[in-house]
Amino acid sequence: MSTVDGPRFAEDVLPSELWGECWHYVDVKDIWNIRLVCKEFARTGKPFLYRVLYCWSPNQEDVDDKNWDMWCKHFLWSAKRFVVVATGPFVYYVEEWSFSGIEQTRALNDTNANIRGIGVLVEAYHSALTIFLNTLPLYPNLHTITLTTIKIDKDVFDALNQMPKLGSLSLIETNTIVRPTLSSISPWHLKRLRIVNGDQPGPLEDEHLSIVSPAALDTLVLHSYGFSEACLRPLADAQEPLNVLTSLSLNLREDTLELLRDIVQLCPILETLEIYDFDFKDSKEIQYPPRSSFSNIPRLRFYHGPAYLAARILAASPFESLSLHTGRSREHSYSFQEIYKLLRPLSHQIPIHLAFSVVKVDTRLFDVLASIFYSVQSLALCFDDPIHDDPVHDDRPNYRQVLLKNNPPFVWPVRPSNTLMGLLDHLVTQESSLPPSLIKLRFTQADPYASRRITPQEQRQYLEKLSLRYQNLMSFQIGENPPLVRSGYGRPWHEIGH
């Protein structure tokens, strides 16, 4: 690559220099954050050649020295714009591809590289995207496309229409200016559609985005601050049911929550339902559809959503995984009385996994969970560990003797019961109980940076005592500490990754 001091244009650099260098395969998923799958490499371990589109090197010395790995790191850290192109026969092994737009024209804080030609980088972006789209038909087995922070227009959809095996499409933080219609989506035979625009400022206008219901979808994810009733109504009013849809994830707001009934009733084999409420409206202020509205609900197995909806949606479902959130801010965490009221109608079910976020610290919570879901095997709770405003608050523990069957007695400190450590102390001293069949246990705090954090050493001390009573435990984690796992009863515990 030659050094040019004057300004350069995309048309000058893209055809020859941007396609002119090849080097050996490295871990593109970890280093470049690009999802490129090659079955031949996974099967044989042999490296293959690939090319990277670029318009200017952020570190000319690395280019001159052919230090390509460091060059790629510097370029991608600073520019956040990349395209990888497999060469030769390897095009047949490319199955997944990702293309990212430029979030910022300059990000000098991300790297100490000598960044040059930033203006050319921005100018070359649209040409790079055009080349990327034009090369899509070269990969006959490409089935997964992820587009991030780019403008979706008619040219993009036309290019995607040329992909005969495209089955999964993700649009992340994109500006979609063309309304995808049923006629434009149908030729893709999409099985998975994911649209995430969580950081879009303000609501989307009706003419910007309209979601229809492709009949071949088995996974549909629609997350956005801007989705309004006008966006979801076509999905709810679909003429044909989504007979193959098994996973549905929606970001519902107060004005769209009522559409849940109509959307879900169109999915007879739906197994996974996720409901997000990013605006943190108080759940008690939202008028949910009446209980009778969900009479035709499918037999769900995995549910994540507001706890206030769980009993209505899951009343007739043999659910296995129940992940509940308040739909409210941390200042309005669930009390154990609310949890009992919400979960009691589901006591006839036998879930395997139970997760809650966020709940108030209360030792009676454990007894409530054990009485309703006695046989749960995996429990994850996120506690709101309060900060005491009283300057004279006494955190000094009381010491109690613990008697265990077939084990010698020991003395254990018991801290205030309205803290996470106090909850664990009550479990150790058997003043509170968890479901005896637990295999996986995880406790976290809503504020991971609280002044009092449980250390890895304290985590091991708690595990040593709790495993005497809960002998089926195979995974244990408190706070942000690395999880402790073991392969079977009587086997040694070790941290994941060690």
Higher pLDDT, 222 or 458: 458
> DSSP states of 188-220 as a string?
GT-SEEEEEETT--SPPPTTT------TT-SEE
Q: Tell me the pLDDT of the chain averaged across its residues.
A: 67
Least confident of 70-74, 308-312, 406-410: 70-74
pLDDT band with cut points at 50, 70 and 90 for residue 13: very low
Q: Distances in Å between the alpha carbon of 85 and those of 16, 82, 112, 175, 447? A: 15, 10, 27, 25, 43
pLDDT band with cut points at 50, 70 and 90 for residue 121: very low
pLDDT band with cut points at 50, 70 and 90 for residue 230: low
Contacts of 158 (CB under 8 A, 6+ apart): none
How confident is the model at residue 7, as a pLDDT? 36
Provide the pairing of β-strand 398-404 with 378-384. Answer: unpaired
Say if CB 476 and CB 495 are below 8 A apart.
no
pLDDT band with cut points at 50, 70 and 90 for residue 2: very low
Contacts of 157 (CB under 8 A, 6+ apart): 178, 180, 184
pLDDT band with cut points at 50, 70 and 90 for residue 107: very low
Say if CB 200 and CB 224 are below 8 A apart.
yes
Pairwise CA distance, residues 172 & 224, whole Å: 10
> DSSP states of 214-252 as a string?
-TT-SEEEEEESS--HHHHHHHHT-SS--TT--EEEEE-
Identify any residues that bridge with 445 across adjacent strands, giving them in sequence order.
383
> DSSP states of 41-66 as a string?
HHHH----EEEE--SS-S-HHHHHTT
What are the pLDDT digits (tens) for 33-67?
A: 333 333 444 444 443 434 333 333 334 454 455 55
pLDDT band with cut points at 50, 70 and 90 for residue 404: confident
How confident is the model at residue 41, as a pLDDT? 42
Task: Report the length, in residues, of the chain.
Answer: 498
Say if CB 378 and CB 354 are below 8 A apart.
yes
Sheet containing 84-86: order of strands: 23-24, 49-52, 84-86
In the chain, the amino acid numbered 380 is: A
The H or E element containing residue 70 is helix 68-79
Please tell me whether the overall predicted TM-score, pTM, comes out greater than 0.75 for this model.
Answer: no
Least confident of 160-164, 167-171, 278-282, 304-308: 278-282
Mean pLDDT in residue range 381-398: 61
